[in-house]
Amino acid sequence: MTSGTSRGPEDESTSPASPGPPWPADQDPADRVSHAGHVDRVRRGYLLVSGLDYFADMLLTVTSVLLLQSLGMGSGAVFALIAAVWIVEGVSEIPTGVLADLLGRRTSVAISFVLRAVGYSVLFFSGSVYIAAAGVLLSALGGTFASGALEAWAVDETGAKDPSGLDRLFAQGKIAENAGLVLGTLTGAALGTLDLALPQIVAGLTCALAAVLSLRLMTGRPDPDRPPAAPGRREAFAPRLRESFGEVMTGTRLTLRGDKVLIALILAAALLWLFRGIPGVQWTVVYEGLVGGNLLVLGAMRSVGSLLEIPLLGWTLSLQKRRASARRTVIVTASTAGALALVCAAAVKEPALSIVCYVCFSTAFGLCMPGVRAAMNERIDSGHRATVLSVASLFNSLFTGGGLILTGLAVGDLGSTALAWPLAAAGFGVAGLWVASLAVRPGTAPTTTSTTGSTGPQEVRAP
């Protein structure tokens, strides 16, 4: 994969309409057609699973904090629980990333949906704050099994040597995520008007469906470098896991050590997540009173920003075809506008204007993400992609969890924005500028690491 992130002209041998690495001149046309069909299937599977993933999670976005409050949690306890979610995700990222590289990304994603199905269902059937907290933490653990694995599968299967192809993939993926987000948010808000716990069971059922679909859709092309296993012979899992863990961690350490820009990009992206997370905890409580407690209005408010992202992401795709510096331009513009919007959301007294400003802030964060994800993937070799992406998620989780704990200590009331939101706005703007400067930095191209032997298959064939 090409790690250089300069947005120059595409390689002449790569057609803009054909994502993936350039094909040799003597490549059999039938193989090209087969590859193109495989890429289309992978892309469709990635978009569908991503959409369901977000649909399930966003069913809870309007009701989750309100449900916790209804169970008796105070402001500090809510901040602490959500911080614990981020920390659980952080400490679980590396082990689950190794499992994804060892067992296959498809299996890891299916495990993620199964664990979340159980965790969300526990929340529905429980009236106890302690059992509810356990369900939240189990769902957080489940999320780490898909973190990096789904993305790594899509990048490896569609081809990672075309930077513009990665930007297209992640922009389309963001559109699919937003579609799931909007449908999930509105559905969850409607269900919440009947019962605050009702969205939880629907989220659990959605995750169960997504687990089945991921096993069916996340197929992979066979690896010609990997000899077929002898019939009836299976290497013991525990020794293979220990050996693979050591090998993957060594490779990941070398990948990070050899690319200081990648390390800085991971840290800068983690700061973006931190400053997005602070208002993300408070917004339902802040605006519930302003909209008269109407959950459907809150759901619509959360959905508008994601709907706006869809045409804006389409515009960024067309911009990328015309301008070499499109990625940097999008991130700088979005992060600056988002920071200003969040300051206005905290400062203005007019409820309608404050809501509009917050919507603009949430939209800006979404516009930054495709470029950030593409920049990271350009710098990671295939063999350790899921694990390195899990390292990035680990930093996202630890930074956000730690930041939320400090915010919870400083903010006595979930509805108070006077201190937290202006600080979050300043940090978001600075982090966005840092990310933008790193996202276009060229670097040494990583070599593709073989995944034969003890590392096990990267993908598992469909049954």
| Separation between Cα atoms, residue 446 and residue 378, nearest integer Å | 9
Say what the pTM is: 0.63
| Separation between Cα atoms, residue 405 and residue 191, nearest integer Å | 30
What are the residue ranges of helices labelled H in 12-63? Answer: 29-58
What are the residue ranges of helices labelled H in 289-384? Answer: 295-322, 326-347, 351-377
For the segment 349-365, what is each residue's pLDDT rounded down to a tens digit?
888 898 899 999 988 98
What is the rounded average pLDDT for all residues in the chain?
Answer: 75
For the segment 63-72, what is each residue's pLDDT rounded down to a tens digit?
888 888 777 7
pLDDT confidence of residue 285: 81
Torsion 275-381-149-89 (CA) sign: negative
pLDDT band at 397 (very low <50, low <70, confident <90, very high): confident
276, 286, 380, 384, 448 from 422: Cα distances, Å: 12, 15, 35, 38, 43
* Type of residue found at 231: P
Residue 328 reports pLDDT greater than 60: yes
- Of 46-55, 188-197, 407-416, the poorest mean pLDDT is in 407-416
Q: Would you say 303 and 186 are in contact if contact means Cβ atoms under 8 Å apart?
A: yes
For the segment 244-291, what is each residue's pLDDT rounded down to a tens digit?
566 656 656 666 666 788 888 889 999 998 898 888 888 888 888 787
Closest C-alpha among 273, 135, 133 to residue 207:
135
Residue 3 reports pLDDT greater than 60: no
Residue 305 reports pLDDT greater than 90: no
Q: Would you say 173 and 154 are in contact if contact means Cβ atoms under 8 Å apart?
A: yes
